[in-house]
Homo-oligomer: A and B are copies of this chain.
Amino acid sequence: MSDAREGAPRKRGRPARTDAGDGPGARERILTAARAEFAEHGYDKASIRGIAKGAGVDPALVHHYFGPKEKIFGAAVEVAFAPALEAQDIVSVGGLETIGERLTRFILGVWEDPVTREPLLAIVRSAVANETAAAVFRDLVTMRLMVRVAGELDVPEPRLRSELAAAQLVGVTLLRHVIKVEPLASADLDEVIAMVAPVVQRHLTED
């Protein structure tokens, strides 16, 4: 990434102390460092000290901004899922008769790009391994994403149906990107979408 070069003066050794305090970019740097820390060490082993070090700030500042670890995790999840939380647009941008294809393409697409995949992977790993992280994941993501999708549906039990559709998409991303089962892991994205979208569509709109 060419960004690395732009940031070069701050890259070597200790970050400049003037930039390490309550600067305008500190909050953002802490969240970026938090995602890296959760991705590398998992929720249990991730530490505020490690996050602070990654962000080039004092641990007290991390606590000042976000509080305890689960709050930092929640904030990191929220930022990482920001595109997914905009899925309302994916829903309302077209008719219900093609919602399966749009939602499938969107969710699987977010996982296809290594840059957006990494924080998602960190969150999924943390949520699977740790009860606190699972609760954060559940409340933030499912309440905000699923409820929105379900709100658009005109079927009985829209919440349950949107969760079963989500289960199909979560399962595909898990087997494709985490467990890396072949041939799914190497299959062409468009082919996977073509096979998964009708199923998501069925969950969401068909009786």
Contact = CB atoms under 8 A, between A and B. Distances in A.
Interface stretch (A27-35, A57-65, A179-187): A179-187
Contacts of A168: 167-168, 171, 199
A36 to B, nearest CB: 16
A183 B199 contact: no
A190 to B, nearest CB: 13
B42 A179 contact: no
Contacts of A196: 164
Contacts of A187: 160
A161 interface: yes
Interface residues of A, number: 43
Contacts of A192: 164
Interface string A141-179: 010001000000000010111011011111110110011
B129 A42 contact: yes
A52 interface: no
B138 A128 contact: no
A128 B196 CA distance: 22
A105 interface: no
Given A128-B129, A134-B178, A134-B180, 19 more contacts: A127-B178, A128-B179, A137-B179, A138-B181, A142-B181, A164-B184, A164-B192, A164-B196, A166-B181, A167-B171, A167-B175, A168-B168, A169-B171, A170-B175, A171-B174, A195-B203, A198-B202, A199-B199, A199-B203
